[in-house]
Structure 1
């Protein structure tokens, strides 16, 4: 298997779709907003296989909520870039609350939209990173391949069967 990450165009041609906002990550994406069929959806992991393939609960996101989530993500990614550059410390993380008033306001406004409703769809997904800088406000540096529940994901290229 190649040590380099695939090109975005290669993954898109294989059916992978963009993740726009990352809300939580533990050994792989756990919550966020990504395209499914070209439409932004919240996704929430059911804590299946981390990093390779896992089950998620998904639901569509309205354009207005998507815009607010992207604004919140821009605040967070700006802090992440400052942290990596040595210009911020962990105590200044806006996720801590009380650090950035707009971040706090958006977090409160968006909380009810992040709740997973009964009957949410439950597809499986696999994440792949691309050769891009992390912590961009406009999108993450990974894409997801989605499959309906009960349909197997194809083997990861070069890694054999899942």
Structure 2
């Protein structure tokens, strides 16, 4: 299910109004859930070979696993997203799905995933993971996610600059 242009534009405008990195990350996760009609989104920080969950927004239920760390080297597809800075999708019903990602999706209670880098200063600052159930993320979803992640990255760069 793809998002309409008006909801994408409204989400991008909301991101541009963030006054802190924490606010930006929260708004970004919330925007992905709303615009892509997803049950949840997690944003993690890349620190060397470690990925640390910073923010999660769920349509229903409580957030979990914040502060949890993962070794990037244990998840080859995640590593590819970070190193190549290109989105990837996983669907547990696909026989060729990355086993490590599919197993973790099952543990988390989801069956599909769209991952993409959150870029700032020409590097993968973090990882955005948008979760789904009963659907695959398609090319239109990837395009919308790229646009929102690009907006978030621009704001992240602005907020990370020292104030003169």
For the aligned pair, the TM-score class normalised by the smaller chain equals 0.3 to 0.5
Higher helix share: 2
TM-score (norm 1): 0.34
Larger Rg: 1
